[in-house]
Amino acid sequence: MKPLIAAADPGLLAALNDLVGVTQVLSGEAVGPYSHDVFSERERPLAVVIPTSVEILQAVVRLAATHRLTLTVRGGGASYTEGYLPAQLGSLMLDLRQLKRIHEVNEEDGYVTVETGVTWAALKAELDSRGLRTPFRGPFSGLVATVGGTVAQNGISVGSGRYGTAAQSVLSLDVVMEDGRLLRTGTAARGSAPFSRSYGPDFTGLFTGDCGAFGIKARVTLPLLPATPEHVGVSFAFDSFETLYRGMRTAARVGVDDTHFGLDAALLRGQLKRGRTLKDTLDIARNVFATSPSWVAGCAQLLRMGLAGERSMKAAPYLAHYIIEGADRHSVHAAVHRLRQALNGIGREIANTVPAVIRSEPFAKMFNVVGPQGERWVPVHGVLANSRVLAFQRALESFIAQRQVDMQRLGVWTGTMYETVGPGQFMHETGIYWPDELSDYHHQALSPKQLQRLPVHIQNLEARTWVVQFKKDLVALYDRFGATHFQLGKAYPYAELLDPTALDVARSINAALDPDNRLNPGALGL
């Protein structure tokens, strides 16, 4: 069904202003930056509404229903798969960053409920102060990425070694439906506290990874665990992709790390090229010290980093970094010992600078939205079954080799990151970098100081167009090897790849929850 309004209607704006307050409604030029994500640009929203409570959010959704407006939802906006970008004119965008209350910390029943605009960094700060943590603790973009956005598109990283994906950590959701009603999932569906996900069919799971196509997440409940203050970082170098894969697969089976990731040399060299100011270095040193289990451990770590620094890392084509955490020194050291034994003979241990920095600052500053030399950046990933990893790597090497001449001519380069997801899956993420003008998104995401330190690139439509095709071909390559994807948005295929029965069920669910397809049309290919 077409929306009735294709341009900002004064009557609608007045009604929105009445509901949420004038300062919470953006229209005209102010919505410009909302048409970009990290990589793409799509339609400008009709208006952007910034609700400050769940009740106001529900009222806005009801108003949108009466005007038959399509809706998209933006959390921290740190994604690159067109997830929150309107696919059509006349959409209302809901910016949920001011739904930022930590609603309930219930230690006895073991859960924390947050509004979905809470960032992972804010949640971590609150729980750290109480000696608590959640199992999954956020993506590396957690300084800006929200709990709602991460659950809506699923994700991995901090805490995923032991606890898996964001979606696996969720106990319960409060979902605003397309007509404004609030659906509560898990035990909350029967009016109890949201202490358990299991209560009949898994409604919670249905709304994770939906990229906002099935409902608008207003509150998320996650399990609470005691904090794990003791930690040790361990890093290994590998001489080939085969040994990296074997090492990471072995480590996944040992299963003792909290957080891990692998890198290839190109990605590492790129990161090392990033200009670091004296203040950045001092900040890292302060954080390493502050998060070390004791001042002796902090001094030892800083000394190791100073002595070994970046030298040993530069030598290896592949690296993997592990952070092992626990309640006490004994269990952490025993776990590190097991990991070292398992990787003995596969990789060689090197200085643990990278995991020490990541443990102290798990959520990267947003300068990673551009390359080390101010290039544009977009990552493309696939999660492969272990049995397909080596064949995929060979196909990828030949895919890149065939395009090498163009890449050199256009200044395009790639670097790859790896994570295991449980014992049987391997995530392979290729970051693509190319010299090009930065967009409104980057100018908002980076501070003026960060921008000043970067080389300026002029508009480069030839390289950009080439990258769009390269990215498309790369996704097709992942899919030929049966890969799945997190953060499907509007960029990865979903509906297109389902078998007829699964597609029929997906469409029926979508039709039941969103009969007029007004919630993020185009996401998931629905």
Ligand X SMILES: Cc1cc2nc3c(=O)[nH]c(=O)nc-3n(C[C@H](O)[C@H](O)[C@H](O)COP(=O)(O)OP(=O)(O)OC[C@H]3O[C@@H](n4cnc5c(N)ncnc54)[C@H](O)[C@@H]3O)c2cc1C
Q: Name the β-bridge partners of 232.
A: 324
Owner of token pair 């790896």: 418
Spatial separation of the C-alpha atoms in residues 200 and 203, rounded to whole Å: 8
Spatial separation of the C-alpha atoms in residues 260 and 342, rounded to whole Å: 15
> Cα 274 from chain centroid?
22
> Smallest distance from the beta carbon of 385 to ligand X, in angstroms?
19
Token output for 4: 């009735």
Q: Which is nearer to ligand X, 49 or 96 (CB)?
A: 96
Q: Which is nearer to ligand X, 230 or 436 (CB)?
A: 436
> Smallest distance from the beta carbon of 442 to ligand X, in angstroms?
10
Residue 351 contacts residue 235 (beta carbons within 8 Å): yes
Would strands 425-434 and 376-385 be described as parallel, antiparallel, or unpaired?
Answer: antiparallel
Spatial separation of the C-alpha atoms in residues 169 and 204, rounded to whole Å: 11
> Smallest distance from the beta carbon of 128 to ligand X, in angstroms?
19
> Cα 266 from chain centroid?
22
Q: Which is nearer to ligand X, 149 or 355 (CB)?
A: 149
Burial of 388 (0-12, 13-18, 19+ CB in 10 A): middle
Q: Which is nearer to ligand X, 57 or 313 (CB)?
A: 57
Helix (H, G, I), strand (E, B) or coil at 53: coil
- Which residue number has the CB closest to ligand X? 149
> Smallest distance from the beta carbon of 54 to ligand X, in angstroms?
11
> Smallest distance from the beta carbon of 303 to ligand X, in angstroms?
29
Q: Which is nearer to ligand X, 73 or 232 (CB)?
A: 73
> Cα 146 from chain centroid?
9
Q: Which of 249, 168, 234 lies closest to 428 in space, CA to CA?
A: 249
> Smallest distance from the beta carbon of 339 to ligand X, in angstroms?
21
Q: Which is nearer to ligand X, 72 or 430 (CB)?
A: 72
Q: Which is nearer to ligand X, 157 or 235 (CB)?
A: 157
Positions that interact with ligand X (CB under 6 A):
38, 72-79, 83-84, 96, 116, 139-141, 145-146, 148-150, 152-153, 155-157, 211-212, 216-217, 364, 368-369, 486-487, 489, 520, 523
Owner of token pair 């390289």: 463
What letter would DSSP give residue 51?
Answer: -
Token output for 244: 């990296």
Q: Which is nearer to ligand X, 24 or 79 (CB)?
A: 79
> Smallest distance from the beta carbon of 221 to ligand X, in angstroms?
14
Spatial separation of the C-alpha atoms in residues 518 and 248, rounded to whole Å: 42
Token output for 390: 């080596």
> Smallest distance from the beta carbon of 341 to ligand X, in angstroms?
28
Residue 319 contacts residue 239 (beta carbons within 8 Å): no
Spatial separation of the C-alpha atoms in residues 358 and 370, rounded to whole Å: 19
> Smallest distance from the beta carbon of 288 to ligand X, in angstroms?
20
Q: Which is nearer to ligand X, 118 or 288 (CB)?
A: 118
Q: Which is nearer to ligand X, 216 or 346 (CB)?
A: 216
> Smallest distance from the beta carbon of 484 to ligand X, in angstroms?
13
Spatial separation of the C-alpha atoms in residues 125 and 143, rounded to whole Å: 11
What backbone torsions phi and psi does residue 407 show, to the nearest 5 degrees?
-60, -45
DSSP string for 486-510: S--TTTS-SGGGS-HHHHHHHHHHH
